[in-house]
Amino acid sequence: MSNLVISEKVSSVAKRDIIDLNNKINAFNSGETPEEAFRKFRLTRGVYGQRQPGVQMIRIKLPYGRITADQLVRIADTSDKFATGNLHATTRQDIQLHFVKLSDSPQLWADLEDAGITLKEACGNTIRNVTASSVAGIDPDEPFDVTPLTHSIFTYFLRNPINQDMGRKFKIAVSSSEKDSALAFIHDVGLIAKMGVNEKGESVKGFKVLIGGGLGAQPFSAQTAFEFLEEKDVIPFIEALLRVFDRYGERVRRHKARMKFLLNDLGLEGMMARVAEERTAVKNKVFAIPEDLFGTNASESINHAPRPSVSEEEIMKIAAESISGADMEIFTKWLRTNTFEQKQKGWYAVQLRVLLGDMSSDTARKLADIVRQYAADDIRVTVNQGYILRFVKGEDLVAIYHALNSLGLAAPGFDSTMDITTCPGTDTCNLAISSSYGITRVLEDMMKSEFPEMIYNQDIKIKISGCMNGCGQHNACNIGFHGSSIKNGKLVLPALQVLLGGGFSGDGIGLIGDKVIKVPTKRGPEVLRMLFADFEANAYDGEYFNQYYARQTKNYFFQLLKPLADLSTLQEDDYRDWDHDELFKTEIGVGECASVLVDLVATTITEGQEKLNLAKENFESGIWADAIYHAYNVLITGAKGLLMTKDVTTNTQYGIINDFESNFGKEFKYETPSQFVLPDAEETPFRSLAFSINKFEPTEEFASYFLDTAEQFLNFVRSTREAQLLENGEPALQELSFGKDS
């Protein structure tokens, strides 16, 4: 978009990001920037390639899912202007817009930033959206509101140099109580609120800390790093952990590049020992969480002083004035499954069940009006792709029901068995194998018709992903499905991999589901029929589904469902996916979550210069720790560039440092002030410099030395490359353009 308009309300750092995106799109379109380098860049700006060529998915980053009514309207308006008029809520409490032109993405971002909404680091190898319990702040079971900590994590690590170019993405979740409604057990870092006692014997806020969880083809449950860590120590711990992941994490083999694999390699004790080594260098040794953050709870927009509770009987009396017959039965179900009294007495939360997580822009604008009239200006997107409204008066529940019902947002059964979580699947995703939306619609309709009581069941959760990667979190629920395929002779048919026993056990432990059997996708409804019938017939009174699964064992369920895997009885329709008339064929594109290693030396030198510029900016602003880390990244980037000239395969940062020593280490020389000399005399100058990153406090003096030496190193890389080109008779070094600043 040539005429980029950015309002004065947009912060200077966001404005620069938007202009930078616009410039790099222009440079990419003109051929100045290689495709892989550009892809790496745009992903960290929330711009993600779709299955359909020529259009993008835009991921809007909403920390802990919070938006105001005005922000919801802005997202709706933006979708109308640049996308399809649809808002897709995700399992990470984001909202996604689809079918956006690449050239429109900078203006789209500018329009959102005007309303205080960012795309920064929504995709790519960074910290993704920080999720939290959608009921945080109103949860009757919570020991305290985790929203301030979650918001602080988001702001602390946004644009933080330690997570700008990691080997893979990094996910953090914060749960408000031991019920773990944010699914801490499947995250790289999961935090569960609890009260504890400090060294002075005082009662203090803190968290159980889990690390190394993850889904995908090889799911892991997180391990316990701390049973209790004081709130003030949480952010410094995460920072130190990220520094370890950044330095030692895999960067070549995408399927091994998540933190769970590094933890598996190092072991918990080894991981925690390396984290402890980083404590000297972290920016803050403790980080007190302020309680007055913008948007930390609904008290800012509503007087939430306790009010008299309104009983269900009183609500039903109000309802009787405007609802009757079969409509009253639906309202009663909605009241019992989609509302609850908050910890603030007399105030109620209203939960919206949204099919497939999709909401039209017109509906979103009308929902914003409902919020303004009846609720606090604090909407939360939920991890099961719905929405929750907060601080509704009990006497207004009937009125808000009518308003929501007119929009199709009053379907009962929020977060019940009937409320299936799903990813977009083959509708838009490059990696999807089969349709997620189609099977979700069919299963929900089937349950509504044949198992209507499932709207009251909070024990059995169903989640669906279009492939094994787990965006629909199919590994972390009682009954999960992921898209797959089955070959039958020369033909291929769409299939569902059935997983059972994931999610939470009866005693609250988070579990990863077992792969039990693969069946043709058209037999998905029969899978549920058989599971429900078997559970109803054979489970003990009060037995949870996962307890029943564990008692019967995986083989029992394999034998139960085995007849559905029989291919001898296939019909022609089995070769067609849900929502499709054509015969099925697998069409899998290239995923965009992987780390992209740019194999052009000139590009790495350009990247190094950009990181050096950021280091200087932070130094001038007095942010010594960030200046040091940006300068450290100059070392890694430059070293990687020169190693490419000798066809040395680069991987972890730790490995790059060691490989550079073997190939170039003794050639780079500089003067080290005595106070910064490491005791190991065997270190080469480069190793000594790189490994000093966690040996000294992030002072102005150390930052000045480290930044100056990093600049010397980048000049060494540039001159070495120029000498190589001259020796080989090749053209002089031409650093690739990433677009001119404006």
The sheet with strand 131-132 has its strands ordered as 131-132, 172-175, 189-197, 203-211, 223-230
Whether residues 109 and 157 fall in one domain: no
Out of 59, 82, 113, a domain closes at 113
Does residue 593 belong to any structural domain of this protein? no
Span of 82-96, 346-360, 487-501, 712-726 with lowest mean pLDDT: 712-726
Backbone phi, psi, residue 480, to 5°:
-120, 150
In order, the DSSP letters of 69-93 are HHHHHHHHHHHHHHS-SEEEE-TTS
Which DSSP string do the residues of 542-559 spell out, in sequence order?
A: T--HHHHHHHH-HHHHHH
Which value, in Å, is the radius of gyration of the alpha carbons in the chain?
Answer: 27
Per-residue pLDDT reduced to its tens digit, 463-511: 999 888 778 888 989 999 999 999 998 889 999 999 999 998 766 688 8
pLDDT tens for each residue of 127-153: 999 999 999 999 999 999 999 999 999
Domain assignment present for 696? yes
The H or E element spanning position 655 is: helix 653-663
**Please, are residues 180 and 504 in contact by the beta-carbon 8 Å criterion?**
yes
pLDDT band at 597 (very low <50, low <70, confident <90, very high): very low
**In-domain check, residue 581:** no
Identify which of 562, 572, 641, 630 has the alpha carbon closest to the alpha carbon of residue 604.
Answer: 641
How do residues 17-34 score in pLDDT, each as one tens digit? Answer: 999 999 999 988 888 877
- State the Cα angle at 175 between 625 and 292, rounded to 5°: 60
Flag whether pLDDT at 297 surpasses 50. no
Instruction: Measure the CA–CA gap between 672 and 67, rounded to whole angstroms.
Output: 50
**Up-side HSE of residue 740: CA atoms within 13 Å toward CB?**
2
Q: Enumerate residues 6+ apart whose C-beta is below 8 A from 38.
A: 24, 25, 27, 28
Higher local confidence (pLDDT), 371 or 167: 371
**48 with 123: CB under 8 angstroms?**
yes
290 located within any domain: no
User: 3-state DSSP call for residue 205?
Assistant: strand
Rounded Cα distance between 182 and 354, Å, is 18
Tokens of 294: 């913008």
Write b or e for each residue in 50-66: b if 16 or more Cβ atoms lie within 10 A of its Cβ, otherwise e.
bbeeebbbbbbbbbbbb
pLDDT of residue 301: 41
Separation in Å, CA 129 to CA 95, 157, 295: 11, 11, 16
| Residues 425 and 401 reside in one and the same domain | no
Domain CATH for 661: 1.20.120.330
Q: What is the pLDDT of residue 622?
A: 96
- Looking at residue 132, its amino acid is A
Instruction: Please report, for residues 179, 215, 481, the alpha-carbon distance to residue 549 in angstroms, rounded to integers and kept in the order given.
Output: 20, 20, 16
User: Are both 496 and 608 inside the same structural domain?
Assistant: no
The predicted pLDDT at position 596 comes to 38
Residue 71 has pLDDT above 80, yes or no: yes
Sign of the Cα pseudo-torsion (272, 278, 284, 286, in order): positive
Q: What is the DSSP letter of 631?
A: H
- Domain end call among 378, 405, 432: 405
Dihedral of the alpha carbons of 239, 244, 245, 249, in degrees to the nearest 10: 170
Same domain, 434 and 524: yes
- Same domain, yes or no: 484 and 562: yes
> What is the model's pLDDT at position 685?
82
CB 359 within 8 A of CB 347: no
- 445 and 564 together in one domain: yes
- From the DSSP assignment, how many helices (H) and strands (E) are in the chain? 20, 22
Query: What pLDDT digit, counting tens, does each position of 366-419 carry?
Result: 999 999 999 999 999 999 999 999 999 999 999 999 999 999 999 999 999 999
Distance CA 228, CA 242 (A): 20
pLDDT, position 434: 80
Contact indicator for 440, 465 with CB cutoff of 8 Å? no
Q: Is 129 exposed, middle or buried (0-12, 13-18, 19+ CB in 10 A)?
A: buried
Answer yes or no: do 364 and 398 share one domain.
yes
pLDDT band at residue 427, thresholds of 50, 70 and 90? low
**Which pLDDT does position 734 carry in this prediction?**
53
β-sheet bridge partners, residue 339 = 350
Q: Domain check: are 153 and 96 in the same one?
A: no
Residue 589 included in any domain: no
Residue 519, both tokens: 């069946």
Q: The tokens of 376 are what?
A: 């606090």
Phi, psi of 328 (to 5 degrees): -65, -35
Helix (H, G, I), strand (E, B) or coil at 49: strand
Which residues fall within 8 angstroms of residue 327, CB to CB, at 6 or more apart?
Answer: none
Between CA 109 and CA 45 the distance in angstroms is 9
Q: Residue 726: what pLDDT?
A: 80
**290-313 mean pLDDT:** 69
pLDDT of residue 507: 66
The answer to the question of residue 4 being in a domain is no
Per residue in 104-121, pLDDT (tens digit) is: 999 999 999 999 999 999
Residues 545, 464 within the same domain: yes
Element spanning 372, H or E: helix 361-374
User: Does any domain span residue 302?
Assistant: no
Q: Which of 229, 261, 277 is the last residue of a domain?
A: 277
User: What percentage of residues in the chain have a pLDDT greater than 90?
Assistant: 70
For 433-447, 575-589, 665-679, which range has the lowest pLDDT when averaged over its residues? 575-589
Residue 644 falls within a domain, yes or no? yes
pLDDT of residue 2: 58
Provide the number of structural domains found in the chain: 5
Q: Do 400 and 425 fall into the same domain?
A: no
Tokens matching residue 97: 């817009």
pLDDT over 70, % of the chain: 93
Q: What are phi and psi of 166, to 5 degrees?
A: -80, 175
Q: Are residues 236 and 341 in the same domain?
A: no
pLDDT of residue 57: 92
Lowest model confidence (mean pLDDT) among 13-22, 154-163, 559-568, 673-682: 673-682
- The H or E element containing residue 89 is strand 86-89
Question: What's the rounded mean pLDDT across residues 623-648?
Answer: 92
The CATH number linked to 367 is 3.90.480.20
At residue 724, the pLDDT reads: 82
Residue 682's pLDDT band (cuts 50, 70, 90) = low
For the domain that residue 150 is a member of, what is the CATH number?
3.30.413.10
- Could you tell me which residue, 420 or 49, shows the higher pLDDT? 420
Q: Which backbone phi and psi does 737 adopt, to 5 degrees?
A: -85, 140
Q: Higher confidence at residue 613 or residue 722?
A: 613
Question: Angle at CA 305, nearest 5°, toward 376 and 368?
Answer: 5
Q: Is the pLDDT of residue 593 over 70?
A: no
| Range of the structural domain that residue 396 is part of | 307-405
Instruction: Verify that 105 and 139 share a domain, yes or no.
Output: no
Q: In sequence order, what are the residues at sequence separation of 6 or more whose Cβ sits closer than 8 angstroms to the Cβ of residue 647?
A: none
